C-alpha cells in the first residue's frame, strides 16, 4: 500500500522537487503551499505523513504542527519538519512540538526518502514492505503472499491488509473502530460488524494451517494478534 504524503511548502521549486522524488519512490503526493490549505486538505483526506516547511506565510509550520498535535484526528500523523534554519534551538523546538524528524535545507532527495522510510517504518509498520514472520506464519507485502512452511494461504485483499496490520501490531488490542480507521481508512463509514465479517474470513483461511488462534477475540474490547497460541491449542 503506498503511503499518502502531504507536502506543505511555499517555495514552488522545492515543492516540485520534493513531489517529483516522492512520486518516483512510489508515494502518493498531496501538496499545499500554506498551513490553511493544508488544513482544508486534511479535512478531506488524512495523510500518512506530513513534510512540513518551518517558514510558511501566515501561520508558521511550527504553529501548524502544534494544532495538528492537539486535534484527536491528526494527533498521531508523523511529521517531518523542513527548515532552512540551522540553530540547534530551533531543532529542539521542532522536536518538542512533536515532530518525528527534522531536516535542514538543502538536503538530498535520497536522504529525504531515507528519513521518510525510517519514520514510516517506525510509526506505520503496516505500510512497509518488510516481510514479517510470527510463529511460522509469514507475510510478504511485496509479493502479497501469506505462507506457512511454503504452504500458501489464499486471502482476499481486505483480509490481507487486516492480517498485515495485526501482525505489525502484535499483542496489542484494537477495537473494531480502530481497525476500521487503520485498515479500511479514514472517513469510511462502515459498521463495526464489517470487521467481524472479515475477521471471520481471516480465521477461516488461517484454519487450514491451524493458525486461526493467533487472531484472538477480546470480549467487550476487540481483537488481538498473538504469537503465543501454544497454551490455547
Ligand atoms: Ca518556506
- We report the CATH number of the domain holding residue 89 as 3.40.50.2300
**Model pLDDT, residue 185:** 75
Please give the distance, rounded to the nearest whole angstrom, from the Cα atom of residue 37 to the centre of ligand 1. 14
Q: What domain range is 47 assigned to?
A: 4-127
Q: Do residues 59 and 146 both lie within one domain?
A: no
Nearest residue to 8 via CA among 42, 76, 23, 26: 42
Last residue of a domain, one of 110, 127, 144: 127
The per-residue pLDDT string of the chain (233 residues; one tens digit each, 9 = 90 and over) reads 579 999 999 999 999 999 999 999 999 999 999 999 999 999 888 899 999 999 999 999 999 999 999 988 898 899 999 988 666 677 777 777 788 998 988 899 999 999 999 999 888 888 888 899 999 999 999 999 999 998 999 999 999 999 999 999 999 999 998 898 889 876 567 888 999 999 999 999 999 999 999 999 999 999 999 997 654 44
Report yes or no on 233 lying in a domain.
Answer: no
Report yes or no on 19 lying in a domain.
Answer: yes
Nearest residue to 153 via CA among 200, 233, 211: 211
Read off the C-alpha cell for 121. 517504518
Q: Do residues 150 and 118 both lie within one domain?
A: no
Q: Do residues 178 and 119 both lie within one domain?
A: no
User: Angle at which helices 35-44 and 61-70 pack, to 10 degrees?
Assistant: 30
Q: Do residues 80 and 32 both lie within one domain?
A: yes
**Model pLDDT, residue 86:** 66
Q: Do residues 9 and 70 both lie within one domain?
A: yes
Read off the C-alpha cell for 219. 470480549
Report yes or no on 27 lying in a domain.
Answer: yes
Last residue of a domain, one of 69, 97, 127: 127
Read off the C-alpha cell for 111. 536522504
Residue-level length of the chain: 233
Q: Do residues 119 and 31 both lie within one domain?
A: yes
**Model pLDDT, residue 229:** 61
**Model pLDDT, residue 230:** 53
Please give the distance, rounded to the nearest whole angstrom, from the Cα atom of residue 53 to the centre of ligand 1. 6
Please give the distance, rounded to the nearest whole angstrom, from the Cα atom of residue 228 to the centre of ligand 1. 50
Contacts of 219 (CB under 8 A, 6+ apart): none
Report yes or no on 230 lying in a domain.
Answer: no
Read off the C-alpha cell for 9. 511548502
Phi/psi-derived region of residue 98, left when phi > 0, alpha when psi is between -120 and 50, beta in every other case: left
Q: Could you give the maximum distance between any two Cα atoms of the chain, in Å?
A: 61
Please give the distance, rounded to the nearest whole angstrom, from the Cα atom of residue 122 to the centre of ligand 1. 27
Please give the distance, rounded to the nearest whole angstrom, from the Cα atom of residue 14 to the centre of ligand 1. 9
Q: Do residues 122 and 137 both lie within one domain?
A: no
Report yes or no on 167 lying in a domain.
Answer: yes
Q: Do residues 31 and 107 both lie within one domain?
A: yes
Please give the distance, rounded to the nearest whole angstrom, from the Cα atom of residue 10 to the centre of ligand 1. 5
Distance from C-alpha of 154 to C-alpha of 133, rounded to nearest angstrom: 17
Nearest residue to 94 via CA among 140, 63, 126: 63
Please give the distance, rounded to the nearest whole angstrom, from the Cα atom of residue 55 to the centre of ligand 1. 4
User: What sign does the CA torsion over 70, 74, 77, 79 have?
Assistant: negative
Total structural domains in the chain?
A: 2
Q: Do residues 13 and 122 both lie within one domain?
A: yes
Q: Tell me how many degrees the CA angle 138-27-98 measures, rounded to the nearest 5.
A: 90
We report the CATH number of the domain holding residue 185 as: 1.10.10.10
Last residue of a domain, one of 127, 153, 172: 127
User: Exposed/middle/buried for 22, CB within 10 Å: 0-12, 13-18, 19+?
Assistant: buried
Q: Do residues 177 and 122 both lie within one domain?
A: no
Report yes or no on 232 lying in a domain.
Answer: no
Report yes or no on 157 lying in a domain.
Answer: yes
Distance from C-alpha of 215 to C-alpha of 126, rounded to nearest angstrom: 16
- What's the whole-model pTM score? 0.76
Q: Do residues 123 and 189 both lie within one domain?
A: no
Q: Do residues 93 and 138 both lie within one domain?
A: no
Amino acid at each position: 500500500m503506498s503511503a499518502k504524503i502531504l507536502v506543505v511548502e511555499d517555495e514552488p521549486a522545492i515543492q516540485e522537487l520534493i513531489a517529483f522524488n516522492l512520486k518516483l519512490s512510489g508515494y502518493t503526493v498531496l501538496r499545499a503551499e500554506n498551513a490553511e490549505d493544508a488544513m482544508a486538505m486534511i479535512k478531506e483526506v488524512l495523510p500518512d505523513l506530513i513534510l512540513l516547511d518551518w517558514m510558511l506565510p501566515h501561520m508558521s509550520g511550527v504553529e501548524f504542527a502544534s494544532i495538528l498535535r492537539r486535534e484527536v484526528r491528526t494527533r498521531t500523523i508523523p511529521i517531518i519538519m523542513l527548515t532552512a534554519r540551522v540553530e540547534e534551538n530551533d531543532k529542539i523546538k521542532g522536536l518538542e512540538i512533536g515532530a518525528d524528524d527534522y531536516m535542514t535545507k538543502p538536503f538530498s532527495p535520497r536522504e529525504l526518502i531515507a528519513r521518510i522510510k525510517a519514520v514510516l517504518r517506525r510509526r506505520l509498520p503496516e505500510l512497509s514492505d518488510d516481510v514479517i514472520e510470527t510463529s511460522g506464519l509469514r507475510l510478504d507485502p511485496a509479493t502479497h503472499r501469506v505462507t506457512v512452511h511454503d504452504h500458501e494461504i489464499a486471502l482476499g485483499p481486505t483480509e490481507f491488509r487486516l492480517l498485515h496490520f495485526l501482525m505489525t501490531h502484535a499483542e496489542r488490542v484494537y477495537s473494531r473502530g480502530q481497525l476500521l480507521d487503520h485498515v479500511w481508512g479514514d472517513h469510511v463509514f462502515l459498521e463495526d460488524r464489517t470487521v467481524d465479517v472479515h475477521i471471520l474470513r481471516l480465521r477461516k483461511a488461517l484454519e487450514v494451517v491451524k493458525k486461526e488462534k493467533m487472531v484472538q477475540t477480546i470480549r467487550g474490547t476487540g481483537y488481538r494478534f498473538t504469537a503465543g497460541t501454544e497454551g490455547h491449542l
